[in-house]
Structure formats: C-alpha cells, structure tokens
A and B are shown apart, each in its own frame.
Chain A
Amino acid sequence: MHPTTLPILLLLGGFVLQLLLARALTPVGKGILATAATLAAFAASLMLVPPSMDGIVMQANLLAPWDGPFAIGLRVDGLSVLFMVMGTGIGAAILLFSVRYMEHEEQGTTRFYAIMLVFIAGLLVLSSAADMLGAYMAWEVIGLCSYSLVGFWYKEKVATDGARKVLVITHLAGYGFLIGIVLIYSRAGSFDWTDPAVATAFTSGVAALFIVAAMAKSVMFPLHTWIPEAMNAPTPVSALLHSACYVKAGVYLIARMYVIGDGQWHAALEAPLLAIGCVTILIGVIFAMAQTDLKRLLAFHTVSQLGYIVVGLALGSDLGLAAGLFYCFSHALFKGTLFMCAGAIQHAAGTRDLRQLGGLAAQMPGTARIWIIAAASIAGVPLTNGFVAKWLVFSAALDKGLLIVVLVGWIGSVLTAFSFLKATVNAFYGVPSRALLGKRIHDASPSMLVGMGSMAALCLVFGLAPQLLMLPIVAPAVHSLGFGWQVEMTWLGILTDRSTLAVTIGGGVVLVSALLGIAVYRLAQAPAAGLVSVYSGGEPLPVGDRPGAVDFAEMAEHAFHPVYALDPDPLYRAIWLRLTRTSGNLRSVARATLEDHPSRAIGLAAAAVAAGVWLV
C-alpha cells in the first residue's frame, strides 16, 4: 500500500466497517471506530510531512484504470499535505467529540459516521488529486456529503431546507469548475494541474469560472447565504463543515490555481478577488453581530473569516499565500472549537439562543475556558494563532502597499471582538436566564472536552510558536505553489525578514499592554467573583445587568442598517419565482398547441426540420 493513498484508504476502510458492523456496534462503538479510523489517517498524513518538507512530490494511483485512459491519480505535494493534516487532525477531534454527542441519537448513527468519514476522505482526495477531473469528482462528493449531513434530521423541515440550499447554491456554482475544466481539456487535451498545455489554456475567463465555484464553497459574498441555513445539522457536522472539510475546498482551489502557469491568472483577477474578500469580511461580521442564535452567529463569522483567508491568497505574494494558508489552518482550529463549544452548550442547556443563556461559566467551566481561548483566537488576541494569522495578512497587505485592505481587516477584527464579547458574556456570564432555571446543567463529557480542548490548546501553541506550524506545514505548501519563501519567523509570529516594522511595533505594544493589564489586575487584588456593573459603551449598566443579546443585535441592526439590505436571498427568490412562472406559462402554451394536438406538433416539426435541412 502506497503511503500516499494510506490516509484515504484508512478512512474508506472505516466507512466500509461502519456499514458492515452497523448492527453489531452501539452508537458509541461506531463513534470510536470512526475516530480511530480518522486518527489512523491523521497519523498516516503526518508521515507525509517529512517528504513534503524536502520538496518531494509523491504520486500514486487511487483508482486505475478508472474511465478509459483516465485514472484517479494522486499527486501529493506541500499544499496537499497541509489539507490532509488539517482534515484528518481536526476531523479526528470532531469525531471524538461526536462519540458522546451522538450517543443518544436513536437512528442514523451509521449513516452519520459513514458519511463523515467519506466527507473527510473527499477532502483528502480533492487536495491530492493529480488532475482537475479527479479534483472535481472529490469536490462534488464532499458536496453530496455535506448535503446528506446537513439534512441528517431529514424529517425536520428546517434541516432539509438548509440542505437544499447548500446543494443548490454550491452545485450550481460548482458547474463553473466543471465548465472550466471542459474548456481547458478542449484546448489542451489534458487535465493535469502542472501540464504546460493546461497553463496556456487557463485563461482569465477560465480562472474566473474556477473562482465562482470556489466562492460558493468558501462562502464569499454574494454566494454565502447557504451557510447560516446549514445550522440545523448536528453540531459535529457544523464543526467539520465550517472548520476543515467544506468551506476550505474553495480555499484549496484558489491556492491550487497558483501552480497553473506560475499563477499567471493572478494579474487579471487580483483586484476583483481582493474586493470580494474585503466585502466578505465586512458583510460577514456585520451580519454576525445581529445574530442571537449562537450557531448562526458563528456561521456568519465563518463568512467573515473566509474573507481574510481569500484576501491573503489573493495578494499573490509569498507572504500573502503563507498568511492565507496559515489562516486557513488556524481558522480550522478555532472555528471547529467554537462550534463544538456551541454544541456542548446546546447539549447541556437545550438551547443555543443567546437570549436564553447566561451564567454557564459556573456550571460549564471547562467549556467556558475552551470557548474563551477560541474566541480570543478568532478575535485576534495576541498569544493565539488568530493573532499571528491576522498579523501575517496585514503584513502581506502592507508589503504590497494595500492600506485599504489592512483597514478593512482591522475594522473586521474590531467588530469580531465586539461580537464575541457579546456571545461570551451572554452565554457564560451574568445571571442565568429564566429559561435555564431549574435545569440541571453539567459540563461537557470528558471526551467532548478532550476533542475541543485539544484544538483550543493548539490555538495557543501555534500562537506562541507559530513556526511549529509554519515550518513543517505551511512553508512546504507555499513552496509547492512555486514560491521560494524562506520562513524567518520566531516566537509569537514575529517576522524578521520583512520591512514590517510598524506592524511589529504595533504587535509589541499590544502584547505589552496585555501583560500590563494582567499585572495591574493581579497587583490590584482582583475582586472576588461576583456581579459587577458592566461598561457597555455608554452609561455603566446597573450591577447585575448586562448588555443582552437582543440589545446588542438591535444596536448592530440600527448602526449598520443599510448593510442588511445587501442580503442576496431576495434576488435568488425572485429569480426562482420568475423561472417557475415562465415555465408555467410555457406549459400552458405547449399543452394547448402541442400536447393536445399531436398532428399540429408533427406538422410543425416536419416543416421546421425540412426547412432546416434545406437551408443548411
């Protein structure tokens, strides 16, 4: 067995075992089996790191022969390894979390775990596909997996409506990828990412088609509207969808495009892609601020965060790519953690509505700590990987003199911090809401805490020592895309090879401020835990009160009122209504003229065919 195919085969083996042992295993047993298969795949993926650090590209056939001369071949380089490690590592943590989370599910656990395994395997095939056709197949397979998983509770309308939206938006946009591939093949006679003939055929138009497909998968505005509707899935599904396996497919595609013709497409599409990324950052976070459903809030933050990642990739420089890919991995860690925390809250409290939560830090201390680390990370607080990721993006933008990008990113960061402050306070602090009174709320189970805690711990590890991620994983990925970037990164992510003095000084100031704050807090004899008045931007609120989720959402809606008109869903609905109305009218005409009068239809066809043939 070739080491390149091993991670995929381990996952598919787990899938087969899930089906074979469906009747023999309990839900917990199925969860353990799925976790074990994914952990084994993670270990096998880690084995691929050393060769990728040496710049070795590993090749193998997964399915050969497949379709005539075409094989499903794998070509594993640094970029592939990044996505393989991310998909299997985070997948394993999420599946570990699922063991207890799904144990009370009465039916469908075999389906759940089997599809989760194929979902992760699909990402691995996508990221390591030797050619575009194989990548497109994996692209659609993960699309089907997400459709099935989002609609896991298929008897509930909200779940199936969400699944429907996922499939329709991502599949319709995904045709851009297919049409692009077909156009390339018709011109170049090849699908190979690295074939020089493909580079010639890869015009800006084709690249734009690829990007449209990537936009839908990676929730770029205006193709992002499926993601908040996909929240009615089991939490592990949301976590996997948002962190590693689904929204990152588009990121992968954009990054992979750089291997085609040395990224020649970038010159024409840099500005539009940057604009899309920046708009997405702001739209996502502004919509997030108005949410009171914890998972919907996180979903809109995914939109915003993906904007940062795409901005990094769109910059097209070595540092930009490193920033985008580091951000991609970091986002997988903190967003997966946040979703699992949200799931743990829902599991314990029976709701994820921020208006009905509060004071959970006392009953769920483990979950609260993990949440705070991940929330700090997404907000870009120093000592976390989120800070390093944002710093890298800002540095790369400054390198290119794009101050507007930095400004947008900075505003996005401030609003993200604001939004997570609301979520954290409303969920974990203050007085428990009336809805929680009388409920026996307990912290997440140990395996759930380990699943999400391990990822939160990595947020800190890669925040303190980002070179641990950068050197073995990110740098080889950047190199595999044809960029000869030398990593000059030290502790806390401080770059030493760039003229980013301003950013470095700024980061230092932030760090020193934070340390001073902690010192003052400690030296001033921190008060005992209890209710205090809260400063909410205006008059301090009375003791025991707090800025509620509703107040906050209303405030955001008031402040950003015009932005909420940028919801593209009404436009999509109007197109659908127009289409169905037109088809209805056509049916009336067709029935009256053709279906009910065959002789008329035959006469018309005969005349048209005769005229056509004689005129040709």
Chain B
Amino acid sequence: MNTVLIPLFAGIALGVALYARAIPQGGRSWWGFAAATVALAVAAQLAGHSWLATLLASAAEFLAVGMVWSKGTPEAAAAARKYLTAVVLGTVATTTALALTHFGEVRPAAPFDKLAAALLMLGVALKLGLVPVYFWLPAVARASSAMTTALIIAVVDVGSFCELLTLRETAPWMFEAYATVWIALAVLSLLGAAMLALAQSELKPMLAFSSIDDMGYLLLGLVAGGADGLAGAWFGILGHGLGKVVLFGAVGAAEWHLGRPVTLDTRGLSSVLPVAGAAFMLGALGFIGVPPTLGFVGHWRLYLAGVELGGPALVAALYAASAMGLLCYIRAIHRTWLGPLGLGPLDAPATGRSLPAMAAVVLLVFAIAPVAFGLVPNLLRPNPLHPGANAHPLVAAVLTGSVP
C-alpha cells in the first residue's frame, strides 16, 4: 500500500508545513519532531511489512510524543506523559504479540496464541486510543496545537492501522478466531466515543473523540475481512487522514483568530473566517461519510461489514453511532461556524487575526481532496502501473474490479 500512503503522508506533511508556516504550531523543536515523525512514518512504509518497519513506526510514535511535549506547557507535558504511556505499553504489547507469532506467520500453540491475540488487541487499542484506553488522545488534542494532533492522527495512527491491515492478511486467525472480542472493542469505541464526543464543549477534544468513533468503524471492516470489508477499511482510513487534517486545520485557524480554544459557545465564525468555515463543513460531511466524499466510499462497505459480522444488531449500533456523529458535527457547524457572529459567552475580544492565504489554500485543498477522491476513488489504486502490487490482494481485487 505504500504507493498510496507515501504520497499521502508526503502530501499531509507538505500541507501541515505550509499551514504551520502561516499559523505557527510550535517552535524549532516542534518542527524537528514533526519532520522526523513524518520521515520515520514514510520510512516505515518504505520498509514494507518487516521488523524494520515496526521499529521505524514505533520510533515515529515516540517522536510524536516529543511533538506534544515541545509545547512546553504543564498541560502539554501531562498529555505527553499520557501519550508516552500509551505508546510504550502499546509498543511492548504489539511487539510481543508479533514476536510470539513470528511476525504473524505462525500460530503458536495454546495458550500462546491467545496471549498473542490479547496483546495485539491491547496494543492496538492503546496506540489508536480506542475505548476504554483512549485517555491520551483527548488530552493531547486539548494541550497541543491543532496540527500536532492532526499529524498524530493522520500519519502516525493511519500508519499503525495500515500495518494492522497487512497483519489481517498474514495472520488472519488473530482476527477471525477472536472476532467477537474485536467486534466488542469496535462497538465500544463506536458508541462510547460517539457519546463522549457529544458531551464535549470544546472542539478539539470533540474531534479527537470522533476519531476514536471512526476507528471503531474501521476496525469492523478489518475484522470482517473479505474484499469489501478491507476495501472499506482502506478507503475509510484514507478519508480519516484527510478529514482530520482539514478539521483540525479549520479549528486551528479559528483559535488563531480568537486567541483561545474554540468552544460551542463561540458563534458565527464563518462571518470572519468563511474559508475555514467551508473547509470545516466539507471535512465534517466527508468524515461522516456523506456522498460523494471518500468517506462514503469506505462507509457503505463498513456498513456491509457490519451486516455480515453482526446482522441487524450491529447495524443498529452502526446507525446509532452514525446518528450521534452527525448530530455532533452539525451542532458544531451550526453553533460555532454558522449564524450571527458572537465570540463567546462573555464576548471576549478576539485577536482578530485573519486567515493567512497559505493556510486558506491548504484548508481548501484538503477539504476538496476527499470530494475529488470520492468521485474518482480509483485514483487511490495502490499502484496505477501494477494494480495491487503493494496492496492487500483483496483490496486490489476490489479496486481492479476482479473480485471473485
């Protein structure tokens, strides 16, 4: 899959860099950590499915912790500690699981197979911030600059999830034999995070919880497997990455204008930041999975995965999560962005800084990209010259139209 992910990561890095030049996200150390995080994530993709790739991806996660810590505030340090805890334990758990299974190639004898599966689940949950071990992601979102969280979700988490997609092929037993537990984990994240997102009054943690909610969807596609399940997870994770950059970017622009965190008490920001408002709306609709965005290309298949895995009950859970996701985003759009301008309950003065042109361009490109890819998803074929060369075979089969 690296022929898609590498350009995607490079594009995200470029976008974030241009945005951060216009709207500062941190000092020199932040730039160093951010560049190194993306470079290692790209290198991990170049290394393919190997121990080296795992090592590089883990290193990228540790450097992402540095990105959080580099802000220098006590809150950021606390968030970085939480994130570090998750990364360390997650890395230990997943590495042990991979070691027990010889990188997924063998199924060890009982009870080590169960141990490996349990460690993998715990490690994945910690790294992706699934419920109930999500403690680090909202904390990081609150304490860091917008693009820090965007990079962590769109590059580090997306990379981790794609590793899991590869493992789904090499060690299918780890998913199929314990599908019930995986589904439980996914549903807990879906519903729990959707409910918690609804309870947030600040936009950045709300976006963090919606990421966790979306990861629940993607996990269902991964566990369902098959051509449509994996293709759903594949398109879904790409839409996830692009969507989070634009959503966090728009909120970051609003913070830049206000000089403080954006909450649901802020009103009518589209009047002063129309581009950021439009970008947030497009990003949200794509993230919810409304056609014709890339999110839809993934989401309808994830619904299909839900039907195949759990029948009407699981579909009902998916519907409930989708409904809560929609309500959450629509509330944010209508309270924060649309309507008459009002800067908060006390109408505290804003810095009044307008959106720099470069940041506006970045937001527009990332807002339009999911729509463009939604109209032509075949552009995300892993390798146009050699279809499926680097993709999961079933995903490639879907993309090339040769599904059995």
Contact A583 B196, CB 8 Å, known A155-B270, A155-B340:
yes
The residues of A that contact B307 with a CB separation of less than 8 Å are 182-183, 186
In the complex, A605→B184 CA distance in Å? 12
Contact A595 B377, CB 8 Å, known A182-B304, A580-B198, A613-B181:
no
The residues of A that contact B330 with a CB separation of less than 8 Å are 164, 167-168
Q: Are B319 and A175 in contact (CB under 8 A)?
A: yes
Q: Are A598 and B178 in contact (CB under 8 A)?
A: no
Contact A178 B300, CB 8 Å, known A66-B378, A160-B338, A583-B199:
yes
Q: For chain A residues 551-592, which have a beta carbon within 8 Å of chain B? A: 576, 579-580, 582-584, 586-587, 590
Min Cβ gap A301→B in Å is 28
The residues of A that contact B324 with a CB separation of less than 8 Å are 579
Judge if B138 is at the interface, Cβ distance under 8 Å.
yes
In the complex, A11→B268 CA distance in Å? 32
The residues of A that contact B134 with a CB separation of less than 8 Å are 594-595, 601
Min Cβ gap A275→B in Å is 25
Q: Are A67 and B297 in contact (CB under 8 A)?
A: yes
In the complex, A612→B398 CA distance in Å? 32
Contact A186 B308, CB 8 Å, known A67-B378, A609-B122:
yes
The residues of A that contact B375 with a CB separation of less than 8 Å are 63, 66
Q: Are A168 and B327 in contact (CB under 8 A)?
A: yes
The residues of A that contact B290 with a CB separation of less than 8 Å are 140, 143-144, 171
Judge if A401 is at the interface, Cβ distance under 8 Å.
no
Contact A68 B378, CB 8 Å, known A157-B340, A609-B181:
yes
14 pairs across A/B with beta carbons < 8 Å? A67-B377, A68-B377, A68-B400, A133-B300, A137-B292, A144-B290, A155-B339, A168-B326, A186-B304, A602-B126, A605-B125, A608-B132, A609-B121, A613-B121
In the complex, A63→B132 CA distance in Å? 43
Judge if B43 is at the interface, Cβ distance under 8 Å.
no
Min Cβ gap B91→A in Å is 14
Min Cβ gap B238→A in Å is 13
Q: Are B198 and A68 in contact (CB under 8 A)?
A: no
The residues of B that contact A67 with a CB separation of less than 8 Å are 297, 377-378
The digit string for B110-139, where 1 denotes a CB below 8 A from any CB of A, is 010010011001100110000011111011
Q: Are A614 and B114 in contact (CB under 8 A)?
A: yes
Q: For chain B residues 81-100, which have a beta carbon within 8 Å of chain A? A: 82, 85-86, 89
Judge if A24 is at the interface, Cβ distance under 8 Å.
no
* Closest A-B pairs by Cβ, 3 of them: A587-B199, A612-B181, A69-B401
The digit string for A156-194, where 1 denotes a CB below 8 A from any CB of B, is 110011011001100110010011011101100000000
Q: Are B195 and A602 in contact (CB under 8 A)?
A: no
What 10 new A-B contacts, CB under 8 Å, besides A167-B330, A601-B135, A609-B125?
A68-B398, A68-B401, A164-B330, A182-B307, A587-B196, A595-B135, A601-B132, A602-B85, A609-B122, A616-B177
User: Interface centre among A65, A584, A608, by most B CB within 10 Å?
Assistant: A608
Judge if B33 is at the interface, Cβ distance under 8 Å.
no
User: Interface centre among B200, B268, B290, B398, by most A CB within 10 Å?
Assistant: B290
How many Cβ-Cβ contacts under 8 Å join chain A to chain B? 169
In the complex, A136→B138 CA distance in Å? 34
Contact A594 B378, CB 8 Å, known A157-B339, A157-B340, A172-B323:
no
Judge if B161 is at the interface, Cβ distance under 8 Å.
no
Q: For chain A residues 119-140, which have a beta carbon within 8 Å of chain B? A: 133, 136-137, 140
Judge if B303 is at the interface, Cβ distance under 8 Å.
yes
Judge if A543 is at the interface, Cβ distance under 8 Å.
no
The residues of B that contact A598 with a CB separation of less than 8 Å are 82, 85-86, 133, 135-136
Min Cβ gap B292→A in Å is 6
The residues of A that contact B399 with a CB separation of less than 8 Å are 68
Judge if B14 is at the interface, Cβ distance under 8 Å.
no
Q: Are A605 and B296 in contact (CB under 8 A)?
A: no
Judge if A471 is at the interface, Cβ distance under 8 Å.
no
The residues of A that contact B85 with a CB separation of less than 8 Å are 598, 602
Judge if A372 is at the interface, Cβ distance under 8 Å.
no
The residues of A that contact B121 with a CB separation of less than 8 Å are 609, 613
Q: Are A185 and B292 in contact (CB under 8 A)?
A: no
The residues of A that contact B378 with a CB separation of less than 8 Å are 65-68
Judge if B73 is at the interface, Cβ distance under 8 Å.
no
| Pick from B125, B195, B315: contact of A583, CB under 8 Å | B195
The residues of B that contact A167 with a CB separation of less than 8 Å are 326, 330
Judge if A141 is at the interface, Cβ distance under 8 Å.
yes
In the complex, A590→B205 CA distance in Å? 14
| Pick from A143, A594, A602, A609: contact of B118, CB under 8 Å | A609
The residues of A that contact B136 with a CB separation of less than 8 Å are 598
Q: Are B180 and A616 in contact (CB under 8 A)?
A: yes
Q: Are B117 and A613 in contact (CB under 8 A)?
A: yes
The digit string for B315-341, where 1 denotes a CB below 8 A from any CB of A, is 100010011101100100110001111
In the complex, A605→B300 CA distance in Å? 29
The residues of A that contact B200 with a CB separation of less than 8 Å are 587
Judge if A410 is at the interface, Cβ distance under 8 Å.
no
In the complex, A140→B374 CA distance in Å? 13
The residues of B that contact A587 with a CB separation of less than 8 Å are 196, 199-200
The digit string for B271-296, where 1 denotes a CB below 8 A from any CB of A, is 10000000000000100001110001
Judge if A524 is at the interface, Cβ distance under 8 Å.
no
Judge if B52 is at the interface, Cβ distance under 8 Å.
no
| Pick from B177, B231, B326, B327: contact of A68, CB under 8 Å | B231
Q: Are A182 and B133 in contact (CB under 8 A)?
A: no
Contact A172 B139, CB 8 Å, known A67-B297, A182-B300, A605-B122:
no
